[in-house]
């Protein structure tokens, strides 16, 4: 397909790594898996390691300066989130951001949990509102995405992050940070890693976007007193995770090649992110949370599109070659009605697309919006 044809359509819903990244991984993964199976032999082919491959848990323990006994490695970030949600008593109250990772909302509801959304600001959550909520309800956990938040693209300030932790700690609420976009920062700066202490916070991470979705692997760091509770659920739900993958990843990290791969990804995605920031600032100033500095997502609210017009607007965009959809699944149930009154809320992604495609996509979306009035 030529670039010209490609530029005629873009699917902003496709939050996947770019093909170039996966192509580059082919020799690394082929050699890495072979090496890992030869090196660890039946140790990675047999049952065992309920909480994950021990050498990888040791590396993760070192990265987070904590006891590897607190680490559970799984088949992706969502798997460990789901196991964590399943480990909480049914019908627990969980505070989430007003817009968050949609699958967490869906999965938590399957376990009967009651979700309450707290307002997001460009630097984290609305702390006054959070304080009010923890005083009013008996809250079991808070779940937040502090780096390059999905779907808003915001970054928590250190001050906001620390305040959230303190509020949770004071009330005996589990504070769970999903840090899966921490290392995906493209503006040349580094995010400040979150420190764990005995009480927490819980950290959740994923290698899906930093290595590949096919080699699915993620982990959770828990307070020691939660490990047994989760361990029972782990043993009954998935027994052992995919061990050859974890062996490959532990060698990949230890060799130093993973860091280089991350550098490559960040350099590749930077012009794509810049193109989206620039196009949004040009065509939709004020309609999105903040300029992105990394991650995979940002979101856009089209204030002129009423709930009744949503579907026809999505259809008109599709006809113009733009794949978009309302992102109501990502919104906390208690925030949906009020957010809906503010306009069409949607999530946009960029890493899989070339800058010119992104620029074309956003300017075309603007034309569709203008023509729709």
Ligand X SMILES: Cc1ncc(COP(=O)(O)O)c(C=O)c1O
Stretch of 32-40, 211-219, 230-238, 263-271 contacting ligand X, by CB under 6 A: 211-219
| 180 vs 266 by CB, closer to ligand X | 180
In the block, tokens 């093909």 appear at 19
Q: Which of 274, 273, 299 is nearest to 100 (CA)?
A: 299
In the three-class reduction of DSSP (H, G, I as helix; E, B as strand; rest coil), residue 117 is classed as strand
Q: Binders of ligand X among 82-121, rule CB under 6 A?
A: 101
Q: How many beta carbons lie within 10 A of that of residue 270, not counting itself?
A: 17
Q: Which of 208, 245, 349, 359 binds ligand X (CB under 6 A)?
A: 208
Three-point CA angle 360, 365, 370, nearest 5°: 125
Q: Is 76 in the site for ligand X (CB under 6 A)?
A: yes
* Total site size for ligand X, rule CB under 6 A: 14
State the minimum distance, in angstroms, from the CB of residue 87 to ligand X.
17
Q: Is 144 in the site for ligand X (CB under 6 A)?
A: no
Stretch of 31-39, 74-82, 316-324, 326-334 contacting ligand X, by CB under 6 A: 74-82
Q: Which of 364, 334, 372 is nearest to 348 (CA)?
A: 364
Q: Is 261 in the site for ligand X (CB under 6 A)?
A: no
Distance CA 155, CA 186 (A): 13
Q: Binders of ligand X among 153-192, rule CB under 6 A?
A: 178, 180
| Tokens, residue 225 | 């007193």
Distance CA 93, CA 252 (A): 39
Q: How many beta carbons lie within 10 A of that of residue 364, not counting itself?
A: 19
Q: Is 317 in the site for ligand X (CB under 6 A)?
A: no
Distance CA 219, CA 221 (A): 7
Beta bridge partners of 328: none
Q: Which of 191, 206, 250, 357 binds ligand X (CB under 6 A)?
A: 206
Stretch of 52-60, 205-213, 246-254, 277-285 contacting ligand X, by CB under 6 A: 205-213
State the minimum distance, in angstroms, from the CB of residue 211 to ligand X.
10
Beta bridge partners of 82: none
| 180 vs 247 by CB, closer to ligand X | 180
State the minimum distance, in angstroms, from the CB of residue 40 to ligand X.
22
State the minimum distance, in angstroms, from the CB of residue 103 to ligand X.
7
| 87 vs 208 by CB, closer to ligand X | 208
DSSP 328: G
Q: Is 78 in the site for ligand X (CB under 6 A)?
A: yes
DSSP 89: P
Bridge-based pairing of strands 93-97 and 141-144 is parallel
Task: From residue 101, give the alpha-carbon distance in Å to each of 15, 81, 193.
Answer: 12, 11, 21
Q: Which of 51, 150, 245, 298 binds ligand X (CB under 6 A)?
A: 150
State the minimum distance, in angstroms, from the CB of residue 333 to ligand X.
18
State the minimum distance, in angstroms, from the CB of residue 149 to ligand X.
8
Q: Which of 204, 218, 181, 232 is nearest to 75 (CA)?
A: 218
Q: Binders of ligand X among 11-30, rule CB under 6 A?
A: 15
Phi, psi of 298 (to 5 degrees): -145, 175
Q: Binders of ligand X among 35-54, rule CB under 6 A?
A: none
Q: Is 145 in the site for ligand X (CB under 6 A)?
A: yes
Q: Is 275 in the site for ligand X (CB under 6 A)?
A: no
| 181 vs 360 by CB, closer to ligand X | 181
Output the CA torsion 40→41→44→49 (10° steps).
-70
State the minimum distance, in angstroms, from the CB of residue 73 to ligand X.
11
State the minimum distance, in angstroms, from the CB of residue 179 to ligand X.
9
Burial (CB count <10 Å: 0-12, 13-18, 19+), residue 267: exposed
Phi, psi of 322 (to 5 degrees): -110, 115
| 70 vs 209 by CB, closer to ligand X | 209
State the minimum distance, in angstroms, from the CB of residue 325 to ligand X.
15
**Whether 215 contacts 258, CB under 8 Å:** no
The site for ligand X (CB under 6 A) is made up of 15, 76-78, 101, 145, 150, 178, 180, 206, 208, 213, 216, 218
């Amino acid at each position: 397909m030529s670039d010209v044809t490609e530029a005629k359509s873009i699917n902003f819903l496709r939050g996947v790594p770019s093909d170039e990244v996966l192509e580059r991984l082919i020799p690394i993964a082929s050699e890495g898996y072979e090496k890992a199976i030869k090196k660890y032999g039946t140790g990675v082919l047999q049952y065992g390691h309920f909480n994950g491959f021990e050498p990888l848990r040791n590396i993760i323990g070192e990265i987070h300066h904590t006891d590897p006994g607190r680490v559970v490695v799984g088949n992706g970030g969502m798997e460990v989130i789901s196991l964590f949600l399943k480990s909480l008593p049914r019908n627990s109250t969980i505070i989430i951001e007003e817009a968050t990772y949609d699958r967490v909302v869906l999965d938590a509801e399957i376990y009967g949990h009651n979700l309450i959304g707290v307002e997001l600001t460009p630097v984290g959550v609305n702390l006054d509102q959070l304080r009010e909520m923890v005083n009013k309800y008996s809250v079991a956990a808070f779940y937040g995405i502090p780096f390059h938040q999905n779907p808003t693209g915001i970054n928590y300030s250190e001050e906001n992050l620390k305040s959230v932790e303190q509020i949770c700690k004071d009330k005996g609420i589990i504070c769970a940070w999903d840090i899966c976009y921490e290392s995906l920062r493209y503006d040349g700066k580094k995010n400040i890693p979150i420190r764990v202490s005995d009480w927490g916070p819980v950290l959740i991470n994923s290698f899906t976007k930093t290595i590949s979705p096919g080699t699915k692997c993620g982990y959770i760091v828990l307070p020691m007193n939660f490990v047994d509770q989760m361990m029972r659920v782990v043993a009954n739900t998935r027994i052992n995770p995919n061990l050859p993958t974890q062996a490959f990843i532990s060698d990949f990290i230890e060799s130093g090649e993973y860091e280089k791969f991350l550098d490559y990804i960040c350099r590749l995605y930077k012009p794509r992110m810049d193109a989206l920031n620039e196009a949004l600032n040009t065509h939709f100033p004020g309609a999105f949370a903040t300029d992105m500095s990394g991650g995979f997502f940002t979101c856009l609210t089209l204030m002129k599109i009423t709930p009744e017009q949503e579907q026809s607007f999505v259809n008109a965009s599709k006809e113009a070659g733009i794949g978009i959809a309302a992102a109501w699944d990502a919104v906390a149930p208690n925030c949906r009605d009020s957010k809906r009154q503010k306009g069409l809320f949607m999530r946009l992604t960029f890493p899989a697309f070339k800058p010119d495609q992104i620029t074309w996509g956003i300017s075309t979306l603007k034309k569709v919006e203008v023509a729709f009035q």
